[in-house]
Chains A and B, each alone.
Chain A
Amino acid sequence: MKGLRFLMVTKKIFWNFRHDKRSLALMLLAPILSMMVFGIAFSGDMEDVKVVIVNLDQGYRTPVFNQSVKISQSVISNMDRDVLDISYSSSIEDGLKGVEDGTYYSLIIFPENFTMNIMAYKSAMASGNVTAIMGTTEHSTVSIRSDQAEVSVVSEVNRLVMQAIAETMEQGGFDVPIDVDASDPVYGEGATFIDMFIPGIMGFTIFLLTTTLSLITFVGERTQGTLYRLMATPITEGEIILGYALAFSILGMAQVALLIAIAVLVFDVMVVGNLLLTFLIGSMLGMVSVSLGILLSSLARRESQAIQFYPLIVMPTFLLAGIFWPLESIPAYLRPLSYGIPVTYAIKGLRSVMVRGWGVAEIWPQLLALTLFATAFLLGAVLTLKMERRRA
Chain B
Amino acid sequence: MDLLNNLAIGFSIALTPYTLMLALIGCFVGTIIGALPGLGPSNGVALLIPISFSMGFDAISALVLLTSVYYGAMYGGRISSILLNIPGDEPAMMTTLDGYPMAKQGKAGEALVVSGVASFVGAFLATIGLMLLAPMLSRVAFQFGPAEYFALYMLAFCTLGGVGSNNQSKSALAACLGLAIAMIGLDMTTSMPRFTFGELHLMDGIDFLVAIVGLFAVAEVFHFIESHGKDSAIGVKLGKISIPWKMLNHTKGAMLRGSGIGFVAGILPGAGASLGSFLAYMAEKTVSKDKATFGTGNPKGVAAPEAGNNAAAGGALIPMLTLGVPGSGTTAVLLALLLTLNITPGPLLFTERPDVVWSLIAALLIANIMLLILNVPMVKVFVRILSVPSWVLLPGVTMIAFVGIFSLTGSNFDMLLMVAFGVLGYICRKLDIPTVPIILGILLGNAMEDNLRRAMVLSDGDWMYLFSSPISIGLWVAAALGFVAPIFLRQFLKKPPLPTLDED
Q: Do A and B bind each other?
A: no
